[in-house]
A and B are shown apart, each in its own frame.
Chain A
Amino acid sequence: MNERISRRDWEQLSAFVDDQLPARECARLEARLRTDSNLRQALDDLRMTSSTVKSLPRLHAPRNFTLTSETAGQRQKGAPRLFDTFRLASAISSALLAIVLVGDLLAVDRVSLAPYQEMVAPAAERAVEATFEVEAVEEQAPSAMVLEAAPPEEIPPMAEESLEKEAGEGLADATEAEPETPEVVPAPMAAVRLAEILLGAIALVTGAAAYYFRRRGRS
């Protein structure tokens, strides 16, 4: 551009070339063009540039871009709809899974340990009571021996045996209770675990399906 042509003049000349200048501005510019040779030269340059670009031929499409019912239908209806459905299903199942997992974690102490405690507590109590009784008998026996010099056979062997047996049974109950618990407890826990597995599987499958339909929709 000629350095004496301002940017505003250049814009006006460009619009003038395209007949896009308002009538009033057009008349003003024409008056200036009659007297300003630089402006006329710039106008000629612009016209030449514009006509050179306009000489670019319109290209012929190398192939037809017509749509088939499959192309239009798949993209318009099928794939996006299925994608949306599976995406929603995946989101919902993921959210439910998260809720169940959090609930499971928060309630694990109360829900899962309570039945164990119920099973173990009575046996343990019996064991403790039996132990105390044995200790009480043992404490009484030495003191009796010292004070009364009673022979050891005076302590009724049957009582000792029965006490030891009772204490032993109590302890045995307590220890035997452990392996039995898994068979008794799982009813509520198993349902939770099953729900977690199911929700996780649904989330995975629907997520994969949504991904597949999204890819198919793009291709």
Chain B
Amino acid sequence: MDDAVLIQRARQGDLDAFNRLVLAYQDRLYTQAYRVMGEQGAAEDATQEAFISAYRKLHTYRGGSFQAWLLRIVTNACYDELRRRKRKPVSSLEPRDQQGEEIESPGWMVDPGELPEETLQKKELAAAIQRCLDQLSTDFRMVVLLVDVQGLDYRQAAQVIEKPMGTVKSRLARARLRMQDCLQQFGELLPFSFRLKEEAPV
């Protein structure tokens, strides 16, 4: 059954139809929330809030990409949570060294002895990318995630963040530049060609 039929049924109050949409999109929304928030608990809250909000606002959906519509809702939920945290900052659960600086990789939570080397490297690379994403401003991070992780085109990304396409284009270019600079710090984890570039004489 395609999305349009499920959406129509859900609009008429069929919760089962809506839940089938939830199951179809929950991984994408959770991924977006996790990549923006950087932690599981907050990502779960934002995802749940987004689906509840989507059900309540289903009558405002005017067609087009349902994924983009849902991503806009979860993006707004993340923005709300980030704004709330800015007003009421909470202490980080990240481990700190003796100087009080956060220890760089969250890999400390994983027992590496139980993982094959390749899996571990992939996890570390993912953690490095996430760390670089976290260093971007929220606006830049959103655009990178929408285009590179969610695979939206510029027009859809513009709909999600409710900005012109030119803004998406500009933010994405600048965000990629910053990501590139940041990823250079994790040379060992990066693809071979990336390392070659880093080691090449200037």
Contact = CB atoms under 8 A, between A and B. Distances in A.
Interface stretch (A12-20, A30-38, A102-110, A160-168): A12-20
Nearest to B125: A55
Interface in B156-194: 169-170, 172-174, 176-177, 179-180, 183, 190-191, 193-194
A14 B191 contact: no
A54 interface: yes
A67 B48 CA distance: 9
A86 B28 CA distance: 39
A61 B52 contact: no
Contact of B153 (A1, A20, A51, A52): A20
A67 B17 CA distance: 11
A49 interface: yes
Interface string B28-54: 111100110000100010011001100
Nearest to A1: B177
A59 B172 CA distance: 22
Interface stretch (A68-76, A123-131, A136-144): A68-76
A59 B145 CA distance: 13
Task: Identify the interface centre among B18, B133, B148, B190: most chain A CB within 10 Å of its CB.
Answer: B148
Interface size, B (range) = 35 or more
Interface in A44-64: 44-46, 48-64
Given A53-B148, A59-B34, A72 B194 contact: no
A66 interface: yes
Contact of A56 (B29, B129, B176, B191): B129
A14 B176 contact: yes
Interface stretch (B1-9, B19-27, B92-100, B110-118): B19-27
Contact of A45 (B47, B154, B172, B197): B197
Given A54-B149, A66-B23, A72 B44 contact: no
Contacts of B40: 62
Nearest to A57: B126
Nearest to B52: A75
Contacts of B170: 11
A116 interface: no
Contact of A53 (B52, B144, B173, B194): B144
Contact of A10 (B52, B177, B194): B177
Contact of A67 (B27, B28, B51): B51
Interface in B39-75: 40, 44, 47-48, 51-52, 55-56
B15 interface: yes
Contacts of B129: 52-53, 55-56
A67 B52 contact: yes
A46 B177 CA distance: 8
A72 B190 CA distance: 44
B147 interface: yes
Leading 8 A-B pairs by shortest Cβ distance: A14-B173, A66-B19, A11-B173, A61-B30, A53-B148, A49-B180, A61-B26, A59-B31
Interface of A: 1, 7, 10-11, 13-15, 18, 20, 44-46, 48-67, 69, 71-72, 75-76
18 contacts: A10-B177, A11-B170, A15-B173, A18-B147, A20-B153, A44-B197, A46-B180, A52-B183, A53-B148, A54-B149, A56-B126, A57-B126, A58-B31, A59-B31, A63-B44, A64-B26, A71-B52, A72-B15
Given A14-B176, A57-B126, A65-B29, 15 more contacts: A18-B147, A18-B172, A48-B180, A48-B197, A52-B129, A53-B148, A61-B29, A62-B40, A62-B44, A64-B22, A65-B47, A65-B48, A66-B19, A71-B52, A75-B52
